[in-house]
Structure 1
Amino acid sequence: METNKEETISKWKRLKDSNTIKVFIAIVLVCLFIYFFVYQTLSFIQLRYQNSQLNEELVELRNTNEILKQDIEKIQTNQYIEETARERLGMVKTNETPIQVIEEKPYKMEEEALAPERKMNIYMDEWYKGLIAWFKEEKG
């Protein structure tokens, strides 16, 4: 049993002395370094992408905010209030005479006013009449 133990110890010493363990440890360390380096790099790239998207969104929101501020300033002017009162409420000043323009819709022809399936029936009727006339000419 001691020889078996001594052989195991001698094998371990040979393995320890050989470069196999050193190479294995070096490979594991390199793999770990590459893994963490790649992971950190990908995380960094992802964060930069998110940062650029958020910056674009921020610029859009600032532009929208500026437009809304301009709209608020415009709405608070007397000219806008007067235009809105005239257009939406039909108000006029005391010395003005209101004029109302009524637009007439153009008359639609009967065929244009029909539904598409009704139009097809009209055309089919004409086609059948033409077909019947042709058969009569051929027989007669």
Structure 2
Amino acid sequence: MNNKIKGKSIIIVLIICYVFYIFISQQITMHKIKSQISDKKIEEQKVKEKNQKLQDEVKMSKSDMYIEKLARERLGLIKQGETPVIDSKN
């Protein structure tokens, strides 16, 4: 009779250990998934910000002021009557 009680106790302990193992394993998996979700949300926000900057740049590139700015900066063009200034640092 004593062996039956020990056998049942061992089985119960093993079942409890298995349940705890499953529970802890699921918690670890859930934590990893939450971390991945958080990382993806941050990445999504960065992509949205970059997208907005690019959309703003596209809008601005269609304006005459932007075209003039690029011509002045990249091509060194000046308006009639302006005095060119040479930057010796470059």
TM above 0.5, yes or no, is: yes
Residues 1:63 and 2:49 aligned together = yes
Q: Give the letter aligned to residue 64 of structure 1.
A: K
Residues 1:101 and 2:85 aligned together = yes
Structure 1 segments (4+ residues) deviating >6 Å: none
In the TM superposition, 1:1-140 aligns within 5 A as: 15=3, 18-92=4-78, 96-102=80-86
Q: Which has the larger radius of gyration?
A: 1
Number of positions where the alignment pairs a residue of Structure 1 with one of Structure 2: 89
- In structure 2, relative to structure 1, the CA distance for the partners of 1:14 and 1:61 (3 Å cut) is same
Percent identity between the two aligned chains: 27
Q: Give the letter aligned to residue 97 of structure 1.
A: G
CA distance in 2, matches of 1:92, 1:42: 64
User: What's the RMSD between the two structures over aligned residues?
Assistant: 2.4
More relative contact order in 1 or in 2 (CA 8 Å, sep 6+)? 2
- In structure 2, relative to structure 1, the CA distance for the partners of 1:40 and 1:102 (3 Å cut) is closer
CA distance in 2, matches of 1:73, 1:32: 61
Could you state the TM-score of these two structures normalised by the residue count of structure 1?
0.55
Q: Which runs of 5+ in 1 are unaligned?
A: 1-12, 106-140
